[in-house]
Amino acid sequence: MFPFTYTFEREIITDKTSDQVIYAVRDLLKEKNIQNILYGPEFISFSEGLFTERSNWHYLSLIDNGKFTYNENNKTLTYEVKLWKLNLFLLIFFIITMANFKNFFGNLFPFSALLINHLICYFGNRGLIKKIVHKINYSS
């Protein structure tokens, strides 16, 4: 449910087994320094958060967790991202700034921060699944 969850779907055009797809996703997530990875048949999930070893401006630090699922029948890789912490912190920030700044521009600042963070997160994670699918489709 927007704005708390984003779901992306991409088609795998090559004949890959579920294990090959999941291992390729796992390897790329390890390259991104994601530490909490859990994988099994046809899925891989990970949890991240705002307080990780990477910069807080990195798009993966804005999410709580993500899950990749691969449907081998229709060759679809689905990526679901959850953003609960991001929205909670921004809601608190929005309330604090609304209480302190009574004018229009004071209220515009937290709204623009919310919008910018969601855009960074959306396009960053969309690019992540595109990169993963490209790696699966065009590398041996």
Rg of the chain over all Cα atoms, to the nearest angstrom: 17
DSSP code of residue 138: H
Q: Quote the domain boundaries for residue 122.
A: 5-138
Where do we find the tokens 């969601």? 118
Number of H helices, E strands in the chain: 3, 5
Per-residue pLDDT, 22: 92
> Would you say residue 56 has pLDDT above 70?
no
pLDDT interval class at 5 (50, 70, 90): confident
pLDDT interval class at 61 (50, 70, 90): low
70 forms beta bridges with: 77
pLDDT interval class at 58 (50, 70, 90): low
The total domain count for the chain is 1
Per-residue pLDDT, 125: 85
Rounded to an integer, the average pLDDT of 27-51 is 82
Per-residue pLDDT, 71: 92
Q: Are 60 and 34 in contact (CB under 8 A)?
A: yes
For 17, the token pair is 């087994």
Dist CA 127 CA 110 (whole Å): 26
Q: What is the pTM of this model?
A: 0.79
Dist CA 14 CA 93 (whole Å): 46
> Would you say residue 55 has pLDDT above 70?
no
